Amino acid sequence: MKEQVLEKIKQAGVVGAGGAGFPTHAKLKSTPDTVIANCAECEPIIKSDKYLMEHNADIIVEGMKAALECTGAEKGVLAVKYKNKKAVEELRRAVEGEEHITLHLLDNYYPAGDEQQIIYEVTGRVVPVGEIPIKVGCVVLNAQTLFHISEAVQGTAVTGRMVTVAGAVKEPMTVQVPIGMPIESLLELAGGVMVSDYAVVLGGPLMGRVAEDPRKEYVTKTTNGVLVFPSEHPLVVKKTEDFNYQLKIAKSACCQCNYCTLICPRSNLGLGVQPHKIMQALTLNNADILADGQAALGCCNCGLCTYVGCNMGLAPSRFISAVRQGLLARKVKSNQKPKNVNLFRNESKVPSGRVIQRMGLSPYDTESKYIESIQTPKMVRILLKQHIGAPCTPIVKEGDKVKKGQCIGQVPDGALGAPVHASIKGKVTAVASDYIEITKG
Ligand code: SF4
Ligand code: SF4
């Protein structure tokens, strides 16, 4: 039975919808004692999980039950922010009578949805740097992923997801859209962009990336937000400004005040992350300054040090991220055990409201309209790699007619990955090295 469920999840192409897209069937092969549903959705403006929980709590809980069955875990915990009252109410109703599934209410802080924070909040355990949650007996699955698991068990492949389209658009909305929908079509759906010179951030404002060319971007299984900001917005500037220019400024402006480290949520969990030390090492070009050379591996790229911590307008998260990438490329592993959690960790939590205010996001933090379904777009482009692992191999050719939900790309034999499926009914109009295009019809 467990094997059958895992196979259904694998064939449906379920991947982590809230992170980098790790194939879910592979995660569910482990044997944790606790499965945690990450329902925190901590990035400002994004409301895709919030609406999903409000409208589909039963399906999410069914997904949790399937995850418990696959892993054999004793308990499932839905970790949700107390401030999302309607979602809490719906989840509470949906778990009624479930002996092994409970709710855990989280404070409204950023980054409450960081895997490390949520595991500590729910279990009091800390995952050592470079390890994954199973090391401490946990598996963490996002709310949208649990929704997809539940659908997969019913035989439905991943063909759509909830996306928040907001920022400088006419009608901000959170909407269920087909995978592969052009980002440009989504912006049109939201009434169009309200400013002439703008940037599109894919994902949340802190951790999302600025699209180089939004006309060449498509919704993937991990796209939770499409946010539009004026190009001169400090958020966009910090993300896109020339790296070497930022480094030059940092050399003269970083006063080693240490605020970036004091605010760092990973540092406060005892993981040794010290952005101010990285800044010092980089600006002095001297790595010997670092007490723990591998500590950058503990950074989750939450951006708090940059967008809230640094009063000098510097971007320590960009530098620490570059150091981290370098360490990962050289396959360096951390040999440090977690130190004590900061006794004042609770007091050092940064309220979400402060993040919004510090980042100049208040004008964009509006209620977005919930839309359950939309008219099928004229065309979708399904990327062959929307997950961690090997890209899919196309199993259709130009001119083929496909049905919604039909598998169009499979994982190469023996590789880690997740198949992709047609998200609309139509005709295959292009098979490229990295995508399959389907035109409605
Ligand atoms: S907060 Fe800014 S100025 Fe202070 S140490 Fe960190 S990077 Fe330097
Ligand atoms: S981005 Fe900054 S605040 Fe966030 S974990 Fe990394 S160093 Fe810490």
Judge if 250 and 301 occupy the same domain.
Answer: yes
Judge if 262 and 132 occupy the same domain.
Answer: no
For 69-110, what is each residue's pLDDT tens digit?
999 999 999 999 999 999 999 999 999 999 999 999 999 999
pLDDT above 70: residue 291: no
CATH code for the domain in which residue 130 is found: 3.40.50.11540
pLDDT of residue 332: 85
Strands 225-230 and 420-421: unpaired
Q: Per the domain annotation, does 224 fall within a domain?
A: no
- What is the share, in percent, of the chain residues with pLDDT greater than 90? 87
Is residue 301 within 8 A of residue 325, CB to CB? The reply is no
For 344-371, what is each residue's pLDDT tens digit?
999 999 999 999 999 999 999 988 899 9
Mutating to test ligand 2, I would choose from 109, 127, 299, 314 the residue with most ligand atoms within 8 A of its C-beta, which is 299
For 335-351, what is each residue's pLDDT tens digit?
888 999 999 999 999 99
Write down which residue in 118, 153, 188 finishes a domain. Answer: 153
Confidence band of 290 (pLDDT split at 50, 70, 90): low
Judge if 314 and 381 occupy the same domain.
Answer: no
Judge if 13 and 120 occupy the same domain.
Answer: yes
Ligand 1 centroid distance, CA of 361 (Å): 22
pLDDT above 80: residue 382: yes
Write down which residue in 124, 153, 182 finishes a domain. Answer: 153
Judge if 335 and 392 occupy the same domain.
Answer: no
Mean pLDDT within 27-56: 97
For 133-187, what is each residue's pLDDT tens digit?
999 999 999 999 999 999 999 999 999 999 999 999 999 999 999 999 999 999 9
Judge if 21 and 147 occupy the same domain.
Answer: yes
Judge if 145 and 23 occupy the same domain.
Answer: yes
pLDDT of residue 326: 85
pLDDT of residue 337: 86
Judge if 46 and 118 occupy the same domain.
Answer: yes
Return the closest-CA partner of residue 324 out of 394, 375, 273. Answer: 273
Q: Per the domain annotation, does 299 fall within a domain?
A: yes
Q: Per the domain annotation, does 129 fall within a domain?
A: yes
Can you tell me which residue has the tokens 């998260």? 317
Judge if 295 and 421 occupy the same domain.
Answer: no
Confidence band of 111 (pLDDT split at 50, 70, 90): very high
Is the shortest distance between the CB of 122 and ligand 2 below 6 Å?
Answer: no
Ligand 2: which atom is nearest the Cα of residue 300?
5
Is the shortest distance between the CB of 276 and ligand 1 below 6 Å?
Answer: yes
Q: How many angstroms separate the CA atoms of 45 and 297, rounded?
A: 28
Mean pLDDT within 57-79: 98
Ligand 1 centroid distance, CA of 319 (Å): 12
Judge if 142 and 31 occupy the same domain.
Answer: yes
Is the shortest distance between the CB of 258 and ligand 1 below 6 Å?
Answer: yes
Write down which residue in 109, 129, 153 finishes a domain. Answer: 153
Kindly identify the ligand whose nearest atom is closest to the C-alpha of 313.
1
Domain that holds residue 27: 2-153
Is residue 119 within 8 A of residue 140, CB to CB? The reply is yes
Confidence band of 334 (pLDDT split at 50, 70, 90): confident
pLDDT above 70: residue 292: no
Q: Per the domain annotation, does 298 fall within a domain?
A: yes
Is the shortest distance between the CB of 426 and ligand 1 below 6 Å?
Answer: no
Confidence band of 53 (pLDDT split at 50, 70, 90): very high
pLDDT of residue 194: 97
Q: Cα torsion at 188, 189, 195, 199 (round to 10°)?
A: -80
Judge if 141 and 9 occupy the same domain.
Answer: yes
Q: Per the domain annotation, does 11 fall within a domain?
A: yes
Q: Per the domain annotation, does 85 fall within a domain?
A: yes
Residues 6+ apart with CB under 8 A from 436: 381, 382, 384, 394, 396, 408, 409, 420, 428, 430
Total domains in the fold of the chain:
3
Q: What is the pLDDT of the chain when averaged over all its residues? A: 95
Q: Per the domain annotation, does 168 fall within a domain?
A: no
CATH code for the domain in which residue 406 is found: 2.40.50
Q: What is the pTM of this model?
A: 0.95
pLDDT above 90: residue 118: yes
Tell me: cis bond preceding 111? Omega within 30 of 0 counts: yes
Distances (CA, A) of 191 to 105, 123, 167, 188, 203: 35, 44, 12, 5, 20
pLDDT above 90: residue 330: no
Judge if 333 and 389 occupy the same domain.
Answer: no
Q: Per the domain annotation, does 187 fall within a domain?
A: no
